[in-house]
Amino acid sequence: MLSITEITLRRLYQNLASPRLLRANPELGKIAIASQKLSFEAFYEKMKTQSADELKKIFGYSFFEVEEELLQQQKTEEGFNKYLEGKRVCLVGPSDHLTGKGLGSTIDSFDVVVRLNFQWPLAQQLQKDFGKKLDVLYHCCNGDFPVDDLFLPEFSTVKFVCWEAGSEGLKLHNYCSIKAIPSLCISETISSLERSLETPPNTGTSAIYHLLSSNLSELHLFGISFHLDNYVEGYRGRGAELGNWKHDLKKQLDWFTGILENENRIKLESNFLALLEKSS
């Protein structure tokens, strides 16, 4: 019988949101989504008296499988970082201030185009302002709308999908596996950012934070406004609703303006700059 060490339990705790674990025991998704509410110390006290065999019964698979999942995620993260290295990256949000600006071809000209949640596929009439290219998708998988709407033939050309362990996370992950699209669960990264911000981050904030951890050369933001502007008409999303998901937008905007002082890789388009100046 394997002994259960603090190191092994820490690995398990850090990977509560791993696809294999959620598949084995969906109830753990509740822990993964709000992991900041369950400290490692509390988790350790609950689990330290369990044998390896007993823990396998609880979590549905062995620690060797935990480490296999961890290794696969590490490889995907390494592949993602290599893909972004030295690239000019464009993160596109659904803010209405891009409407009528005709920046679609500019957006599509970047090395890597990143979009958020249900900001793809774009309606034909929006493409002249928002572009149509999609290389990387960040998705919160919160269940507001079914991820099945993404599963079009064109989606198979996506290079990477970064997802959060929400109610639709495994469905998106499994579809990516079938289509051989590298899929990266970033729930641990989001939880770390949430603890720093003291509020759940929006998907756009999470994407900025995660992208900047790579060695990309530039990160250009288009249609990102931290809800200083409305969503473009027709975008399906509820994050801007007052009180929805308990996002504190001021804390997120304060964080963003703070990192602008030292992060010269971030490039802002004039419309967002005008919104920032107006809000200050």
Residue that has been written with the tokens 């490039």 in this structure: 267
Mean pLDDT computed over 113-141: 93
Q: Does domain 85-279 have CATH number 3.90.1480.20?
A: yes
- pLDDT single digits (tens) 40-64: 677 777 777 777 677 666 665 555 5
- Alpha helix locations (H) across 18-147? 19-24, 28-33, 40-47, 52-59, 63-84, 104-108, 127-130
Percent of the chain with pLDDT over 70: 75
Helix axes 249-260, 187-197, angle to 10 degrees: 90
Confidence of residue 274 (pLDDT cuts 50, 70, 90): confident
pTM for the predicted model, two decimal places: 0.78
Mean pLDDT for the chain?
Answer: 81
Mean pLDDT computed over 34-40: 55
Query: Domain ranges in the chain?
Result: 6-70, 85-279
For 178, half-sphere exposure in the C-beta direction (CA atoms, 13 angstrom radius) is 9
Residue 47 amino acid letter? M
pLDDT, position 242: 45
For 154, half-sphere exposure in the C-beta direction (CA atoms, 13 angstrom radius) is 9
- φ, ψ for residue 68, nearest 5 deg: -65, -45
Instruction: Tell me how far CA of residue 223 lies from CA of 1, 89, 119, 226, 228, in angstroms.
Output: 55, 14, 11, 9, 11
- pLDDT single digits (tens) 232-273: 887 766 554 544 457 788 899 999 999 998 999 999 988 787
Cβ-Cβ contacts under 8 Å for 173 (sequence gap 6 or more): 19, 161, 163, 183, 185
Cα of 241 vs its chain's centroid, Å: 20
pLDDT, position 233: 82
Q: Which has the minimum average pLDDT: 57-71, 109-123, 148-162?
A: 57-71
- Tell me: pLDDT of 75 over 60: yes
Mean pLDDT computed over 31-39: 51
Mean pLDDT computed over 159-182: 89
Residue 141 amino acid letter? C
Contact criterion met (CB below 8 Å) for 4 and 50: yes
What the block records as the tokens of 233 is 């008409």
Instruction: Round to whole Å and give the CA distance between 119 and 124.
Output: 13
- pLDDT single digits (tens) 83-114: 999 999 999 999 988 999 999 999 999 999 99
Confidence of residue 215 (pLDDT cuts 50, 70, 90): very high
